Amino acid sequence: MAAPKIAVIGAGAWGTALACSSARAGADVTLWMRTPVPPGTRRLPRLPDVELPENVTITGEMPEDADLTLMVVPVQTLRTMGEKLRGNSPLIACCKGLEHDSSALPLTMLAETQPHRARGVLSGPNFAIEVAQGLPAAATVAAEDLDQARAFVGLLSTPAFRLYASDDPLGVQIASAAKNVIAIGAGIAIGAGLGENARAALITRAIAEIGRLSAAMGGRATTISGLSGLGDLILTCTGRGSRNYSLGLALGTGENLADILRHRSTVAEGVATAPALLRLAQRHGVDMPIVETVTGLLAGDFDPARARDLLLDRPPATE
């Protein structure tokens, strides 16, 4: 039987890692990248220590004949990239966040730009470099139809990359968007010297508020305690390899957001997602105090020195 053809759109760190992993799963992979590289290039700028497997082909042309397409561009560019896609293959959104202006989820943007295609989402505690190196990792692949999610899992699983099928794409998308915002908050808490207890409290209370929003929109509570929720919160709120967490750390020590962003070329999705997530929560009548605080800190509405009050000085509540 011929190897399945997988197209990966976006050759940032995560697109490069997913191309490596999909190739190890036995697929013929076409990796689309925006910025051309010299012919024969086998190491890409975002993961220079990783050599691409032989069955990965780099291209600047939008692939047309894939059996499956992974969308791995930053969320703020997903709609535009969706409009440029060719072919009819199912799509899996592998990015984490919400569109800034509309608060749209990744699958909503793909439904609006490619309405005829089957869709799913992949998310979990996954630093790109570790997946690219073939270290053990797990993630959730969700689609409205569980059989469709299982088919995606069948195409993408490897012995090192364990995938779990789910039929709660909404919960997965809310969890994965929110964890980037919460990771910025965790970084601020540590950077501002609030301590490990504060971070653990913040992660736990974040699960409560993410769960409220997900439930209000029709997601399942169990999804938030799974890989795309709790799993990714643990990784992103504690791992120094996280761009969102490290951005929060810098903010917490008093650096200015504009200065931090000026020195970065990688994407920290939580920055644009925070206000979009807050507006989404307000639209659904859901209280998300941590997201609200992080959004205010990012907007420069208050000083990180006040992070303690903002994160912890809340009216008495029951758990």
Ligand X SMILES: NC(=O)c1ccc[n+]([C@@H]2O[C@H](COP(=O)([O-])OP(=O)(O)OC[C@H]3O[C@@H](n4cnc5c(N)ncnc54)[C@H](O)[C@@H]3O)[C@@H](O)[C@H]2O)c1
Ligand Y SMILES: O=P(O)(O)OC[C@H](O)CO
Distance, CA of 108 to chain centre: 15
Q: Enumerate residues 6+ apart whose C-beta is below 8 A from 313.
A: none
Q: What angle do CA 274, 280, 281 make, to 5 degrees?
A: 90
Using the rule CB under 6 A, which residue among 3, 34, 204, 299 binds ligand X? Answer: 34
Q: Is 34 annotated as a binding residue?
A: yes
Partner in contact with 46, chosen from ligand X, ligand Y, none, beta carbon below 5 to 8 Å by kind: ligand X
Neighbouring-strand partners of residue 142: 121, 166
Pairwise CA distance, residues 127 & 67, whole Å: 26
Neighbouring-strand partners of residue 141: 122, 165
Partner in contact with 119, chosen from ligand Y, ligand X, none, beta carbon below 5 to 8 Å by kind: none
Pairwise CA distance, residues 196 & 190, whole Å: 7
Structure tokens at 10: 């976006």
User: Could you say which of 179, 199, 205, 212 is catalytic?
Assistant: 179
Question: Do the bridges between strand 68-71 and strand 5-9 make them parallel or antiparallel, or are there none, so unpaired?
Answer: parallel
Q: Which stretch binds ligand X (CB under 6 A): 71-79, 151-159, 194-202, 245-253?
A: 71-79
CB count in 10 Å sphere of residue 57 = 14
**183 forms part of the interface with ligand Y (CB under 6 A):** yes
Residue 283, Cβ density class (10 Å: 0-12 exposed, 13-18 middle, ≥19 buried): exposed
Decide if 5 is catalytic.
no
Residue type, 39: P
Pairwise CA distance, residues 298 & 241, whole Å: 20
CB of 91 to ligand Y, least distance (A): 19
Number of residues that make up the chain: 319
Q: Which stretch binds ligand X (CB under 6 A): 88-96, 166-174, 205-213, 284-292?
A: 88-96
CB of 94 to ligand Y, least distance (A): 10
Using the rule CB under 6 A, which residue among 5, 96, 205, 212 binds ligand Y? Answer: 96
Partner in contact with 225, chosen from ligand X, ligand Y, none, beta carbon below 5 to 8 Å by kind: none
Structure tokens at 103: 């608060």
Say if CB 106 and CB 121 are below 8 A apart. yes
Using the rule CB under 6 A, which residue among 126, 148, 157, 273 binds ligand Y? Answer: 126
Q: Which stretch binds ligand Y (CB under 6 A): 104-112, 158-166, 209-217, 243-251?
A: 243-251
Partner in contact with 219, chosen from ligand Y, ligand X, none, beta carbon below 5 to 8 Å by kind: none
Q: Which stretch binds ligand Y (CB under 6 A): 22-30, 56-64, 218-226, 229-237?
A: 229-237
Binding site for ligand Y (CB under 6 A): 96, 125-127, 180, 183, 232, 235-236, 242-245
Q: Which residues are catalytic?
A: 179
Binding site for ligand X (CB under 6 A): 10-15, 34-35, 46, 72-75, 77, 81, 94-97, 126-128, 266-267, 269
| Annotated binding-site ranges | 14, 34, 96, 124, 128, 179, 232, 242-244, 267, 269
